[in-house]
Amino acid sequence: MSKIAYRKIVVERFGGTETMRPVEATLAEPPPGYARVKVLASGVGFTDLMARSGDYLLQRKVPFTPGYELVGEIVDFTPDGPRPAWLQEGVRVAVSLTKMAAYTEYISLPLWQLVPLPDGLDPLAAATIPLDYLTALSVLETHGRVATGDTVLIQGASGGVGQALSRLGALRGLRMYGTASAPGAEELLARHGVTFIDYRRQDFETVLREREPGGVQAVFDHIGGAGLRKAYRALSPGGVLVSYAFSGRPGRMVGDTVRGAARVKVMNLRPGRRAALSMVPFEIKGDHAWYRAGLERVLEMAARGAIAPRIGSVHPLMKAADVHAALESREITGKAVLVTDQV
């Protein structure tokens, strides 16, 4: 085994896309309990853009490599205990990271974090799955505890996490409302039976009061701010508000996240309704078994076509800065995937 020379994208200082650049590095042999993985594709999430600008609660210090999710091939590994049969060189794996670093050609990862791709699953489609779908599982199951027939509101149902919530929600037989504004959002939401609310022109609380006078069983929110109180009011007795981000005011998200998380905790003290906070990187770190079982489950669902992850666009890894710029200007929409030369 020898050192591997590779390239990765580094954010050199917090700011715009000009702060991102390719950097050459080398990867040493894996220590016990680690594998070296050749990355094929990485998913781009809104969180990556927040982290680049220094506006993210779980912020990495600069210089850092963005990206929470990837698909790759095991190059080599050093076991530190009994080896599962699937763990072999050349096996394709999906990974959700607890600290960003996915915009890279190679990476060293702990063995517990590698989840094998089921046969036949396209690696690019798989790269769109880990963070968004684990977040959806956390929101729907761990915190939301929703049941078939429940009525829910998904804020931002056209986004990466919002689409994962919609797809898994449809499979669970939820009745769903979703806020969005992007062109084509109404048709996109309709594919999963989600009733569209245009958040630029309609007030979701008014719509829900008219159409669901008894309230909804759950609201899933990533915006925060004044919308949280409205969402709480829209709940039926026993209903739950699950917050998974506080991204309504770009540039002020760290403070808003701290305040928003405190507000959710206070809301949860009131009797009659619940409020909960989903923080997936912590949940992965705290419960490896939940992470592995959840990711295995959604990958298997994708492999058999029960969920159809939607790739918005595909770009070379080294063009990551252009992809951030295009997402910010809304030149491209949907889930962007970065691919290495090795895919």
**Applying CB under 6 A, does 130 fall inside the site for ligand NAP?**
no
Minimum Å distance from CB 37 to ligand NAP? 21
On whether the CB atoms of residues 321 and 18 are closer than 8 A, the answer is yes
The interface region with ligand NAP, picked from 11-19, 173-181, 230-238, 268-276 by CB under 6 A, is 173-181
Of 37, 40, 161, 307, the one binding ligand NAP (CB under 6 A) is: 161
Please identify, using beta-carbon distances, which residue of 49 and 71 lies nearer to ligand NAP.
Answer: 49
The binder of ligand NAP chosen from 27, 41, 50, 129 (CB under 6 A) = 50
Token pair of 42, please? Answer: 């990485």
Taking contact as CB under 6 A, which single stretch among the options 15-23, 116-124, 211-219, 276-284 is the one that binds ligand NAP?
276-284
Nearest to 91 by CA among 37, 168, 139, 134: 37
| Residue 96 interacting with ligand NAP (CB under 6 A) | no
Residue 185 lies near ligand NAP (rule: CB under 6 A) = yes
Residue written as token pair 């996915």: 102
Least distance to ligand NAP from the beta carbon of 289, Å? 18
Residue 34 or 133 having the CB closest to ligand NAP: 133
The rounded distance, in Å, linking the Cα atoms of 214 and 236 is: 6
Radius of gyration of the chain (CA): 20
Please, which residues have CB within 8 angstroms of residue 37's CB and are 6 or more apart in sequence?
A: 70, 72, 73, 74, 75, 93, 95, 106, 107, 108, 109, 114
What is the C-alpha separation between 324 and 311, in angstroms, rounded? 16
Stretch that binds ligand NAP, among 13-21, 45-53, 84-92, 297-305 (CB under 6 A): 45-53
Q: Which of 30, 162, 294, 309 binds ligand NAP (CB under 6 A)?
A: 162
Q: Do residues 19 and 12 lie in contact, with contact meaning Cβ atoms separated by under 8 Å? A: yes
* 179 scored as a contact of ligand NAP (CB under 6 A): yes
Q: Counting contacts by CB under 6 A, is residue 42 touching ligand NAP?
A: no
Pick from 133, 220, 244, 291 the residue near ligand NAP by CB under 6 A: 244
Q: Is 166 in the site for ligand NAP (CB under 6 A)?
A: no
Phi and psi for 159 in degrees, rounded to 5? -85, 180
Does the protein bind ligand NAP through residue 181 (CB under 6 A)? yes
d(CA 295, CA 128): 12
Does residue 311 belong to the site contacting ligand NAP (CB under 6 A)? no
Question: Distance between CA atoms of 324 and 103, rounded to whole angstroms?
Answer: 12
Cis peptide before 63 (omega within 30 of 0): yes
**What is the binding site for ligand NAP (CB under 6 A)?**
45-47, 50, 131, 135, 155-156, 158-162, 179-182, 185, 199, 222-223, 244-245, 247-248, 278-280
